[in-house]
Amino acid sequence: MASSTTTSAFPLVVAVDDSSAMRVFFEQAVAGLGVDLRTFPSAAAAAACLDTHQPALLFLDIIMPAKDGLTYLQELRLTSLHEKTQTIVVSSKDYAQDRASAKDLGVLEFVAKPITSRQLAELISRYTGARAIDESTRA
Amino acid sequence: MSENYLRFWGVRGSYASPQTDKLGVGGNTSCVEIRAGNHLLICDGGTGIIPLGDLLISESPTPETLIVFTHYHWDHICGLPFFQPAFSAEWKIRFFGPGQNVGDIEQRLSNQMKSPYFPIEIGSWAADIEYVKPIEGKIPHGPFDVSYHNVHHPGTTYGYRVEIAGKVIIYMPDNEIDFLRSSIAQRTDEFTEEEHQMIARIQREERDVELSGVRRADILIHDAQYTPEDYSKKRGWGHSCYVDVVNFAIDAEIKVLYLYHHDPGHNDVQIATIHQECLALVAERGSSLQIHVAREGAKIPL
Ligand SMILES: [Zn+2]
Ligand SMILES: [Zn+2]
């Protein structure tokens, strides 16, 4: 019980990416960081979490089956919960037009793949303030 | 009228190219007609949709018509304001394209007809117009099975998969194949050995997703705008080099590939050379893939 209370006190980070290898990169990035990471393979799957939670940081891929990440973000921005959710786009689709749409949607950064877990960890720390945690206090 | 066929009305990418040395292939921009009896499916509304509309307007009874757009770059929509059936009360036309909802589709198609860009707005369309919402990722249209997927091109852009009379046709006029591979190649020094392995996995996954969307299609109509030399200068513009397209089509076990969205700067001779080079690649790989140049006016029975 104590540990779940501790965990939920960590900032929530959500990553939506259809690549399972990318989701592993996210897992590796947060190992040892004090964040609560949840990953989803599609916008539809992420809805279960994002309909009710505002993460401290949201990562979105662009090209996914069904809804693309920027269309999904456009929808999220219309809700009061996600009007200002801190969002980073991580995509292999790197065009000026997509960068401009992302900017219009208030995206903090637009990062082109490939990206490594080191670089993801840096971004997470920068925008959530999460730091490497001392394992002994992680009851 | 029970005939099933596919006909190319516009095969150019980017902008129309009506110069005489290019008319063997054709100068109009993206538009493909797919016909099954009284059902008509039109893919994109580039300048090619204008002569199609001129022919359709005398047709009676009017066919059940669905027009799908891959995206809203000019070369895919600029013929629509001159599409005669939209101005006839005899017609019913349904539209589909990228957007969050039907309002988005309407707005994006109508913007190009607003003042000062055009003399009349879509309010002057007399046809019964409907903007359609997909049902579970599909757009129902008579005997057609039409679905879409996101592709690699600036802005939200769709590729379409059309199933008709037991045949699968894939329409991907604007798509940059293998963009990630070249991004990785440019930044290879940044990564550790372990990261390289993970990145290779991400790349394989992305390739598998791309292939699975088109695998074993009977007909693939695909962007083949660039030569390797063009692509070295225009990587990241959202179009493919024909070498990547041929390899992609072979890997996906496509039966027939139509080279499409030709560069408006390439004349008939240059496109014939591209075709020959594509055929040489197929021979080199020992594949049975058939490759044709999409030509304006070509009618393919289905
Ligand atoms: Zn185009
Ligand atoms: Zn385009």
Contact A21, B205 (CB under 8 A): yes
> Letter for the amino acid at A106?
G
Query: pLDDT of B8-52, one tens digit each?
Result: 999 999 999 999 999 999 999 999 999 999 999 999 999 999 999
Between chains, do A93 and B195 touch, taking CB under 8 Å as contact? no
DSSP state string for A93-128: ---HHHHHHHHHTT-SEEEESP--HHHHHHHHHHHH
On the question of pLDDT at B165 being above 50, the answer is yes
* Whether B155 and A97 lie within 8 Å, measured CB to CB: yes
Summarize pLDDT for B234-267 with one digit per residue, the tens.
999 999 999 999 999 999 999 999 999 999 999 9
Does the distance separating the beta carbons of B151 and A66 come in below 8 Å?
no
CATH fold of B4-301: Metallo-beta-lactamase; Chain A (3.60.15)
Give the containing element (helix H, strand E) for B7: strand B4-10
- Please report the pLDDT score of residue B108 as a whole number: 96
Residues of chain A contacting B152 with CB distance shorter than 8 Å:
63, 92-93
Residue recorded with tokens 């509304």: B45
Among A50-54, A74-78, B188-192, whose mean pLDDT is lowest?
B188-192
β-partners of residue B29 are B12
* Residue range B70-88, pLDDT digits in tens: 999 999 999 999 999 999 9
- A94-114 tens-digit pLDDT: 999 999 999 999 999 999 998
pLDDT of residue A121: 93
- Mutation for A interface: B136, B147, B148, B150, most A CBs within 10 A: B150
Name residue B162's beta-bridge partners.
B146, B169
Residue closest to B14 by CA, chosen among B291, B298, B246, B237: B237
pTM of the model: 0.93
Phi, psi values for residue B207, rounded to 5°? -60, -45
Q: Please compute, for residue A106, the number of CA atoms within 13 A of its CA located in the half-sphere on the CB side.
A: 14
Q: Are strands B219-223 and A57-60 parallel, antiparallel or unpaired?
A: unpaired
Structural contact between residues B118 and B112, judged by C-beta atoms closer than 8 angstroms: yes
Across the interface, do B152 and A63 touch by the CB < 8 Å criterion? yes
Domain range summary for chain B, segments of one domain joined by +: 4-301
Give the residue ranges of DSSP H helices in chain B: 49-56, 74-77, 102-111, 179-186, 193-212, 228-234, 242-251, 268-284
Task: Give ipTM to 2 decimals.
Answer: 0.90
Domains in chain A, start-ordered, CATH in brackets? 12-129 (3.40.50.2300)
Nearest CA in chain B to A93: B152
Is-contact B219 B181, C-beta < 8 A? no
Residues of B in CB contact (< 8 Å) with A are 98-100, 137, 149-156, 179-180, 183-184, 187, 190-192, 195, 198-199, 201-203, 205-206, 209, 236, 238
Taking an 8 Å cut-off on Cβ atoms, the answer to whether A97 and B199 are in contact is no
How sure is the predictor about A4, in pLDDT bands with cuts at 50, 70 and 90?
very low
Helix (H) or strand (E) holding B161: strand B158-164
Distance (Å, whole) CA B174 – CA B91: 29
pLDDT digits (tens, 9 = 90+) for B266-296: 999 999 999 999 999 999 999 999 999 999 9
The residue type found at B221 is I
